[in-house]
Structure 1
Amino acid sequence: MTETTKFNSLKHLAKQYARAKRITQNQALNLVAEKLGFAAWTKLVSAHKGNWIPSFEQMAGVEAFVADAFPKADFQAGHPDAMARRSAYLDNAEHGMIGDHPYRLLVALHDILMVGDGWSIKVRENPSARPIVQTVAEDDGQCPVFDPVFLHKALSLARDRADRVRGGISTDWPRRSTKPDHDGVVRHPLWGDASAVWYCLHCDGKITGSQIAQNLWHCPGCGASPLDIFNTAFWCEDEGKSLPPVKTDGANHNDKPDFRVVDDRPKLELTAERITLLIRSALLDDATNVSEKLGALHAEITVDDDNDVWISLEEDLWPCDKEPAQAVRVAAQLGIEVALECMVSEIPFAWPGLGELTSSTSEYTQLMLDAYAQYSRSDDKKS
């Protein structure tokens, strides 16, 4: 690598770092210079004019410094499949240990999930959002996230990965989406519109270009995603001109985790759909031939607000004097009442009695096809 190539590579690396960290180019250049032992970029330029060139080890150190701002993918090369490689990497969970406690760390839709035995940590794509720490019980001395030292280490790992992911997002977006111009104008990373004032679909207020860019295009008030951010409040009569600034909670508390105790044990919730599914399955258990099977599938099952069940059975498919014993038993097990009635409706196939001759659907189908064919031949003879 020639002297000129190395110097240009340093500027290119600084540009990549600036985009990833959403800072100015000058700030990034100064940080690169500091990594090489200079007080500022201007000092590095003066040294370069005096024939100073970075060594191979120094270049590698700067590349590693910049790489830390990105997901582990090809952060320099602009290959078309770079994003595919990055996505494939993010989809794979990383396994690790903090002390004696194992964890898995993965990325899901740009959110960071860190999961251990009885606990999890979620760091969202939104930079201003508080991390969410979930446990299955109150502090019982067993769950490690209640230990401040462990929690600090775990949050540091999760936040570091979140910074990498955000760096990847910022690099993929246009530069003007994360760096306002001197008038505070920024460009929406998805729509391409440019403005110094923005509006959230869920908040009645204005957002400055600097605010929205710094927060990676998430609403600073409610945290809504870039999909809900627009340069005009088209839902207001005056397009948002009279709206006040978006209200925030003042100080940024995203360093304080939001602890939540959740009970992840499976719970049975008897919805109308689930009750209907069980009752219909029980009717099929009661069916002894194809006709009754069709009757079970064709039955109208209604669940009221108290979860009690009304079953309407087609009399041409289900004998009115036959009680569906299994369905009644299932209802009793669920602690609900069941009412039965016969109805007359349009049945799916002619000659329902054919289904009473067999319990095999295949055999019934052939009987039905033969009957339809015979009926058609009879019609041909009459004509």
Structure 2
Amino acid sequence: MTEAKKLSSLKLLAKRYARANRITLHQALDLFAVKLGFANWTKLVSASKNDWMPSSEQMASVEAFVAHALPAVDFQTGDPEAMTRRLAFLEQAEHGMIGIHAYRLQVAFHDVIMAGDGWSITVPENPGASPIVQTSAENDEKCPVFDPEFLQKALSLVRDRAVQVRGEISTDWPRRSTKPDIGGVVRHPLWGRDSGVWFCLHCDGKITGTQIAQNLWHCPGCGASPLDIFDTAFWCEDEGKSLPPVKTDSAVDEDKPRFRIVDDRPKLDLNAEKITLLIRSALLDDATNVSEKLGALQAQISVDDENDVWISLEDDLWPHDKDPAQALIVAAQLGLEVEFESMWSSTPFAWPGLGELTSSTSEYTQMMLDAYAQYDRSPDKQP
């Protein structure tokens, strides 16, 4: 690669890095120059005129730096060797270990989630939101997130991945969406509209273009997503002109994680759908022949607001004098009141009594086909 091409490549990489990190191009160029051993970009260009050219290893290092979209401050304060180790660690971070504790790392709807046995850490897409640490018990000695050293390492890893995700988002958006002009005007990344004042559907206040761009288009007041941000408050009579600035929660410390205790034990949440499923299964247990099986499948089962059950059984498929014993047992186990009734409706097949002769569905099917065949009067069936 010639000198001109390498400098051109560096400029393109700097442009991508600037977009991902929402900084100016000249800041990105200066960062790259420092990484390559120069005080700033001007010094690098001067050196290039005196036959200096970045090596292939140096170019690869810059490309890796851009690919991971780490924050500029990390580069300014870190040494190249430490940065290389950190990048390698991030590349292997989908599954790993911190000490003796295993974890998995994943991205879901731009939220970064690290999870282990009985704990998880979530860094939301919203840059202004605090990390959320969830555990199944409070101050459990066996849970590693209550160990400050472990928590710090885990948070560092999750935050680094979140920076990458946000950088990818910024790169996909128009440049004007993350970099306000001199008047503070920015472009909505989804609606494509330009404005210096924005409104959140959930907050009665104004948001500046600089505020919303810095917060990756999440409301600085309530954290609402870009889908809820508009250039006019169309829900107000004056379209938001009289609204005050959005109030932010000054008590929120985005660097300090919020702990949540989550009871993740399985819980039986009985609803109409689940009750119906169990009762119908019990009716099938009660069925002793195909006719009764069809009756169990065709039964109309209703569950009211108090979880009382009403069962309507087809009179031609279910014997009038047969109590569905298993269904009654299941209802008693669930503490439900049950009422039965007979109903008349069209059965799925003619001669429902055929099903009383066998418990085999395949045998019943053949009997049914033979019975229907006697009434088949199609031309090719004439004697």
Shorter-chain TM-score: what band? Answer: 0.7 to 0.9
* CA spacing shift, 1:61–1:344, aligned 2, 3 Å: closer
- Secondary structure at the counterpart of residue 113 of structure 2: strand
Distance 2:360 2:230 in 1: 61
Amino acid at match of 2:184: G
Q: Partner residue of 1:80?
A: none
Structure 1 residues 43-52 or 279-288, which shifts more? 43-52
Unmatched runs of 5 consecutive residues or more in structure 2: 71-89, 379-383
Distance 2:60 2:359 in 1: 75
Return the TM-score normalized by structure 2.
Answer: 0.85
Q: Partner residue of 2:185?
A: 185
* CA spacing shift, 1:168–1:327, aligned 2, 3 Å: same
What is the deviation of 1:8? 2.0
RMSD of aligned Cα (Å) = 2.6
What is the deviation of 1:344? 2.5
- Secondary structure at the counterpart of residue 266 of structure 1: coil
Q: Partner residue of 2:161?
A: 161
* CA spacing shift, 1:204–1:371, aligned 2, 3 Å: farther
Structure 1 residues 165-174 or 319-328, which shifts more? 165-174
The alignment status of 1:270 with 2:267, answered yes or no, reads no
What is the deviation of 1:232? 2.8
What's the CA shift string for 1:262-308, capped at 9, x where partnerless? 12121111111111100000001111122211211121212223322
Q: Partner residue of 2:15?
A: 15
What is the deviation of 1:252? 5.1
Distance 2:244 2:358 in 1: 74
Distance 1:365 1:239 in 2: 68
Q: Partner residue of 1:334?
A: 334
Amino acid at match of 1:96: G
Q: Partner residue of 1:317?
A: 317
What's the CA shift string for 1:86-140, capped at 9, x where partnerless? xxxx9x9712221222211122222211111221111111111111111111113
Aligned partners of 1:21 and 1:167 also within 8 Å:
yes
- Secondary structure at the counterpart of residue 199 of structure 1: strand
Amino acid at match of 2:115: V
Return the TM-score normalized by structure 1.
Answer: 0.85
Q: Alignment identity in percent?
A: 78
The alignment status of 1:292 with 2:292, answered yes or no, reads yes
* CA spacing shift, 1:366–1:61, aligned 2, 3 Å: closer
Distance 2:147 2:96 in 1: 18
Amino acid at match of 1:174: P
Distance 2:252 2:63 in 1: 32
Q: Partner residue of 1:4?
A: 4
Amino acid at match of 2:131: P
The alignment status of 1:363 with 2:363, answered yes or no, reads yes
Q: Partner residue of 1:59?
A: 59
Structure 1 residues 128-137 or 200-209, which shifts more? 200-209
Aligned residues: 360
- Secondary structure at the counterpart of residue 134 of structure 1: strand
What's the CA shift string for 1:13-53, capped at 9, x where partnerless? 22111111011112212222222333333333344445544
Distance 1:236 1:366 in 2: 70
Amino acid at match of 1:144: P
